[in-house]
Structure 1
């Protein structure tokens, strides 16, 4: 339902089962894409947002059938012209590995951030919303670093998002990565149990290090192939900390090749000469319970051609 106010439009939204239980501020973040959070909190404080005719506080949760009045607002960030639809479709549409009414799994391309920000006008999620403009909800379930490729889960329903978030929080999602590590190592398996602590520099850059007062973090590394000066491994993060695989690999003395933040500069220069132009880290597999049916879903993202080409050219 819409109502004109001084030439602008008031929206009335009835809360359905998908949105029930959600906080009103999060509900508005979803329905007012592009509106700064500070503005959303202001229209809540001033009472311009109404629930069943009365004021509502940011932390209050919604119920099925609640009628929400949303005042006219002006979008202040990127317009559709800044998201090149044809380019995004070419990069993303063919990389969808699994999709149903509740979620999709994308083989995220390396070099593309999962969302816009920090000088980027768009990322994967904005691109998907642009090429699936009539799809309704599309929300990231988790994140991958910009230079990491592979399995990325995206929810298409609020209920799916909530259940998948819970699976990630409880470390119930099986994740397997391919990583090429600097150096040749003989052991077949290496379990790293080292707590990680995140620091944010004045520049805003996030750096993670092994620290006694950090959060528990465990990664299992399994050797797949040995080369003359590097080792291809499967990395299985048992926990889900920021930059966990990259920092644990460094702590072993075998950083991931191509890692500009935690890697070895000399090794990275050598691999650039071999044609590697990115971090060699790929989210190979994801296993999780379907949020509606409970059925085990296992998805595998094939290794990108550029990484396969690098491996083919490595001396043994």
Structure 2
């Protein structure tokens, strides 16, 4: 429920960017500075040129640099209740899903069904919800992403220094990621490394998809069979690279798409599993292993399989 009270920034603000905000996206910086302003409004004032960096127009994706001067126009801020932004289901997931937290970062067991950030008509994703539940936090940024329908380990940085270090670890392939996926059909192999380059594309309906193409970027995934069922195979998938939809596309390329994957799967197979009670794509980011960005010590985090998926798995007929 929205309140009627509003406040306004009375004058133009000129803000000099410090080391704390170096390399932060402009839209995320403005969301923090203009709490309560809808994301759509922020995008609009940037697009119209009302927000300037070093007196010039920039895009919302612009990465700020130390010393930049950001011009922020007077903006009327509608004060809303917390419930306006954070549905109860998301609130519960954020409050109860913390696997680890220290001064530098959070490891969250992300629930399926929520995007990691808002956009495209969605007001609140994981990061927006967390920021609104922690209004005292001066810095909260996604370190990496998971698809909307994927659950499991997600890292959020609480400091710019931690974000930079964690980004380095991901970029240099020093973060080992392990997913659980249920593939349609019986996969005969016990283990296979898939090297199939991936290219972002758009289909006839205008939907963004990823396809295997020699014109794409290198992509490598290790698949290891865990358990065979009568009509499905539980596998462990470890992506060496981090391409969009990588595991999903590689699984479909093998001829065994992930159960419940509406984009890359097969509708008749999905309908069969929906009839068994499956309500989502069976892809879960189970484990992350990397060196702590401050201590350098190896650390490992594991997100348990959500109970609904575990219950369904327990009912599958094993071979």
For normalisation by structure 1, the TM-score amounts to 0.85
Q: In 2, distance between residues paired with 1:171 and 1:112?
A: 26
Instruction: Find out whether 1:185 has 2:192 as its counterpart.
Output: no
Query: For the residues of structure 1 that align with 2:71 and 2:224, how far apart are their CA atoms?
Result: 54
* Equivalences for residues 29-178 of structure 1 within 5 A: 30-32=32-34, 34=39, 35-37=41-43, 39-40=45-46, 42-45=49-52, 55=55, 61-63=65-67, 70-75=72-77, 80-84=82-86, 86-178=88-180
Counterpart of 2:199 (choices 197, 207, 210) is 197
Q: Which residue of the other structure, out of 258, 269, 283, is the alignment partner of 2:285?
A: 283
Q: 1:254 to 1:298 in 2, by over 3 A?
A: same
Q: What SS does the corresponding residue of 2:161 show, helix, strand or coil?
A: helix
Alignment of 1:261-280 (within 5 A): 261-280=263-282
Q: How does 1:219-234 map to 2 (within 5 A)?
A: 219-234=221-236
Equivalent residue, structure 1, for 2:5: none
Inter-partner Cα distance in structure 2 for 1:314 and 1:20 = 50
C-alpha distance in 1 between matches for 2:133 and 2:102: 17
1:85 deviation in Å?
Answer: 5.9
CA distance in 1, matches of 2:237, 2:275: 25
**1:307, 1:190 → 2: CA distance?**
25
User: Structure 2: 5+ residue runs without aligned partners?
Assistant: 1-7
Distance across 1 between alignment mates of 2:135 and 2:183 = 40
- In the aligned structure 2, how far is the partner of 1:304 from the partner of 1:186? 27
Q: Take 2:114 and 2:70, find their aligned partners in 1: how far apart are those partners? A: 36
TM-score normalised per structure 2: 0.84
1:3 equivalent in structure 2: none
Per the alignment, in what secondary structure is the counterpart of residue 18 of structure 1? helix
Question: 1:277-316 CA distances to partner (integer Å, 9 max, x unpaired)?
Answer: 1000000001222223323221100000111011111112
Gaps of at least 5 residues in structure 1 are 1-5
Distance 2:141 2:50 in 1: 24
Query: In 1, distance between residues paired with 2:26 and 2:285?
Result: 34
- Counterpart of 1:121 in 2: which secondary structure? coil
Q: Tell me the distance in 2 between the aligned counterparts of 1:23 and 1:155.
A: 14
Q: CA deviation at 1:173?
A: 1.3
2:223–2:235 CA contact under 8 A, matched in 1: yes
Q: CA deviation at 1:38?
A: 5.0
> Which residue of structure 2 lines up, in the alignment, with residue 212 of structure 1?
214
